[in-house]
Chains A and B, each alone.
Chain A
């Protein structure tokens, strides 16, 4: 009889062999059980590749589910808060799904691959929730994380690289569109999506063709500054784009232990994702009630004075001439491309309206000595980084 032992080592993605070839730092972390790189040679320079040429990020560990069957549209419409009727085949939707209390279980992207065939990508794993939400629907839900390798190809030259790769017609792909190509006899799915707020694409392929795709991509990109990047660089771009991240800027509701630590879509500024015209969806009643009586929390994007990043900072406001605590930052950085001190945070309502000036308490250390500053911070509504090239179709050559 064979003796079984579950491997305790972190898994590796299909692109791991190429990542290790390029890796100079040996800086790795675990992403849902997969070995994932912090940075391969320099996190700052990798970040600038995203903004200046093209950064390539291995997103294979992203949790993926394949949803198919005659009721798949109805099922997804019941699951998420937004109206999925509008998301036709060949389109991608950012969505959140809630529990019955209207609290967000997770956010993710839903790819409408073909008529009645969807892929849902998320940070956390949700099979029990997805399965129990499917009762009464004729759908199949299959976890396919390991069956699909994914690369984010992000930056101003990404379009030129994919065109050089021979993806004809890619110039017509609009933001949040997806299309299929043949790659060496396998299906290559390309979506114009990403986590960087810039021109960019995501490439999805079966693991057996992953290395061939990588090689072809890097060959096509060698004159366009193609650069493999790690999580650190992506995280910087993510904050500049004003995107929220699960576990960092909000907690999946089902994993919170203390009451009041989860968030509704309204509390994360995602009102636009909630469509009350839909007769039923998970959390609808609770969200309608919240809409009526108001929310407890509000997500804010802050433009902060000075240049000291406001990590783990309290946010204050003035009330009757007195300074009171209003919330805290969840993501913060000095933005090299915007030349701005930026942060994403959570504050109690009614504070944090767009245009309000709040205060942020920043602690920073220089040669062991800690210093505290109170900096003014203006609440802004637009992403910190939002270049026109992100939306241009066809994209420019750059």
Chain B
């Protein structure tokens, strides 16, 4: 029987990126996927006629440019187009527009407050400073602060040096920033409710926390540190939907001789004498390999796909307590035409970007209150985009695809499974909220896919449908991600590795966890490293 050098479990973008870097180094690699299609949560699916749905992740920014370049993703078909615009609709009929052009933004903010219009520059510089501090660590393995290995010490010193270089006052700011709530952070700059609200959304996306919860300022940063062609903070659409990201990585992987098998769900990662030997598929088939890499989140990996007896008790305990709570759902909608929004002037370029329908910090917090009560937000925070305004490939001409990321949405309703009626009612909540600002919206709907966290878990495999494979709070970042002592991508069993977003630096279609894990694996196997270093200062 053939023994692979490595098996990667899960053909999400991180699994594929990991597999690609291993194959690039000359390893014989097999990537297994339970679904009939690859991509995991970076996927394009054809769910209605000629429409292509980005039915999980929907925008692209964090994908590390170093990976984009070294896996030759452009040649393998990936094209990312940035978008501008976006707005927050207000209950009084007005809206707050988001403009890239700094003077237009100044004028727009000035309508509400000249103070806030000025303050944006400082807010932006302060946020960018934090971004620069953390960005350099995206393509690096987090050091273990308890280790005395030279490499850990060197890396710790690198972090310390960078921290020290920020200067005294900014070091204080950094520590506050990492522990503060997004609401407190924004309060330091702005006085206008709707401006704060518009900026606060990035602090809670994918996180089971409210805007007033400590730790959410960092989540905001996580959404700012991406880039499109060096424009830090910019977001873009992958042409052809988010599946184009996974497909390009898969093409790259295959160009290095890698092998992908779909409809090949892994039942268990096999361990013998404390060492990984391969995997058993749900079909009963066993495949042997010297290394097994899990692209699944840590809970799914260790609690569903491994024998608990093979794992250290303390490790398992920490995995069980890893926070990976379901907080968001999704609606994917096929539209017969472009909905009109009477608050906006005709042909407004703001439609290119993400639209929001909550205009106060109070409503943001109330949305979280519903989640705490064990139900979906009755006035949810919706991050809505119509990618087909930019991307001509996802729907027939004149028709549109709409992606609605919805927060908050619990994994269970009051502790029990969702009923179909509740799922429909959840969908109606979102559609009604949008329809309040777009009278013709409902009539244009051709098809709706409603996804609760449970649906996302069942299909994409994300525990509780958590988009980041675990929340991005300080207790679960860097050397604490996913579990203290196991942050360097090595599992507790020899030959077993983790490469999903549960590992540093977390989720968001970055592909950095997959790449970083590959670097560690290649180092253990004494193979030449194929994983690029980060581009450095920019």
The answer for the CA separation of A254 and B189 in the assembled complex, in Å, is 12
Contact B103 A10 (CB under 8 A): yes
The answer for the CA separation of A256 and B132 in the assembled complex, in Å, is 12
B residues in contact with A255, CB < 8 Å = 121-122, 125
CB < 8 Å neighbour of B99 from A8, A129, A257: A8
Q: Does B230 contact A (CB under 8 A)?
A: no
A residues in contact with B169, CB < 8 Å = 100-101
Residues in A1-36 with C-beta less than 8 Å from chain B: 1, 3-8, 10, 30, 32-33
Contact A127 B107 (CB under 8 A): no
Residues in B167-202 with C-beta less than 8 Å from chain A: 167-170, 189
Contact A259 B170 (CB under 8 A): yes
CB < 8 Å neighbour of A127 from B114, B129, B166: B114
Question: With contacts A128-B122, A257-B129 known, what are 18 further pairs, Cβ within 8 A?
Answer: A1-B93, A1-B342, A4-B111, A5-B345, A5-B348, A6-B99, A8-B99, A8-B104, A33-B103, A33-B106, A101-B167, A125-B106, A125-B117, A127-B115, A254-B121, A257-B128, A258-B132, A259-B166
The answer for the CA separation of A127 and B95 in the assembled complex, in Å, is 24
The verdict on A128 contacting B119 (CB below 8 Å), with A3-B345, A4-B94 known, is: yes
Q: Does B72 contact A (CB under 8 A)?
A: no
Contact A259 B167 (CB under 8 A): yes
Residues in B318-345 with C-beta less than 8 Å from chain A: 342-345
Contact B125 A256 (CB under 8 A): yes
The answer for the CA separation of A4 and B107 in the assembled complex, in Å, is 12
10 tightest CB-CB pairs across the interface, nearest first? A33-B103, A5-B345, A128-B119, A127-B118, A125-B118, A6-B108, A259-B167, A6-B107, A8-B104, A257-B128
The answer for the CA separation of A39 and B89 in the assembled complex, in Å, is 42
Q: Does A208 contact B (CB under 8 A)?
A: no
Contact A3 B129 (CB under 8 A): no
Q: Does A171 contact B (CB under 8 A)?
A: no
Q: Is the interface of A mostly helix, strand, loop or mixed?
A: loop
Residues of B within 8 A of A (CB): 93-95, 97, 99, 101, 103-104, 106-108, 111, 114-115, 117-119, 121-122, 125, 128-129, 132, 165-170, 189, 342-345, 348, 537
**Least Cβ distance of A277 to chain B in Å?**
26
**Least Cβ distance of B176 to chain A in Å?**
16
Q: Does A131 contact B (CB under 8 A)?
A: yes
The answer for the CA separation of A6 and B344 in the assembled complex, in Å, is 11
Interface size on A, residues (CB 8 A): 28
A residues in contact with B342, CB < 8 Å = 1, 3
A residues in contact with B348, CB < 8 Å = 5
Contact A128 B93 (CB under 8 A): no
Contact A32 B128 (CB under 8 A): no
Q: Does A126 contact B (CB under 8 A)?
A: yes
Residues in A121-159 with C-beta less than 8 Å from chain B: 124-129, 131, 143
Give A63's nearest chain B residue, CB to CB: B118
Contact B104 A254 (CB under 8 A): no
The verdict on A128 contacting B97 (CB below 8 Å), with A7-B107, A101-B167, A143-B114 known, is: no
**Least Cβ distance of B414 to chain A in Å?**
40
